[in-house]
Amino acid sequence: MSRIAYVNGRYLPHRHASVHVEDRGYQFADGVYEVCEVFNGGLVDKRRHLDRLERSLRELFIPAPMSRIALANVLEEVVRRNGVRDGLVYLQVTRGVARRDHAFPPAGTKPSVVVTARRSDRKGQEALAAKGVAVITVPENRWPRVDIKSISLLPNVLAKQQAKEAGAREAWFVDSAGFVTEGASTNAWIVTGGKTIVTRPAESGILRGITRTVVLDVAADLGYAVEERAFTVAEALAAEEAFITAATTVVMPVVRIDGHAVGAGTPGVVASTLRLKFHDFSEVS
């Protein structure tokens, strides 16, 4: 089955899907994106993803490309046309096509929209979660507005490549004060010896992850204590557990940081339980 992409009003074979050479996403990374999990054929937390998309567009003064209902229909149709039962759907909105100039293009320039979907290996992800993953730490070098889900991700790309070359799955950014901010594509968490879950507040310095939001609900329902505060690399290394969250990973246990074992060096009960219960609390539609 050939893949299908949506590009500016048309459903096209993936190999023929393209954007204009003067699309501002291509020339300036002037756009935003969302990645939504597909679980058993349904979109996970679609409402929350569209809420965040609208916020990102407002923060960058990019007009909505279409109504919320129409955009939701496009996401669902791309998933359907690609026959995705378990996987991801990717949505990107840019400021549109215009003559190259740093300032905004003329009023009325239509935003560009691209949507793609792909399958993922759920069994493979579960096997990975059963083993846990490694992360490395890298200096924070991103722009301050990481609360906007911008397509400008070059520092994240370099961090991910550094992690890959080190045999790790993720890189955690560390600020100048020595505190972990977040991963290159995930939110970062630790669990203390007293079974308290700790993650950095989302008011500044990190993206307010949709999976992060749901995990907080799961943790509260299960009776776990949660502290939204910054934590250091040293505290993470001394933690009983660590994990990362994102639509691409759900809850993924971290068993090594910079080559050092976290806790017993195996996935812990808190992270594993949060992963097991996650889809009982997320909105699947």
Helix ranges restricted to H, the chain: 24-28, 46-59, 68-81, 122-131, 154-165, 210-222, 233-237, 269-281
Residue 197 has φ and ψ, to the nearest 5°, of: -90, 130
> Which residue among the candidates 46, 123, 131, 149 is catalytic per the annotation?
149
Q: How far apart are CA 184 and CA 174, in angstroms?
A: 11
> How many alpha carbons lie under 13 Å from residue 257 in its C-beta half-sphere?
28
Q: How far apart are CA 44 and CA 144, in angstroms?
A: 28
In DSSP terms, which residues pair with 164 in a beta bridge? Answer: none
User: Judging by beta carbons within 10 Å of its beta carbon (0-12, 13-18, 19+), is residue 154 exposed, middle or buried?
Assistant: exposed
Please say if 164 is a catalytic residue: no
Token pair for 10: 């048309």
Residue 12 has φ and ψ, to the nearest 5°, of: -130, 155
User: Judging by beta carbons within 10 Å of its beta carbon (0-12, 13-18, 19+), is residue 140 exposed, middle or buried?
Assistant: buried
In DSSP terms, which residues pair with 231 in a beta bridge? Answer: none
89, amino acid identity: V
Provide Rg for the chain, Cα atoms: 19
The residues carrying an active-site annotation are 149
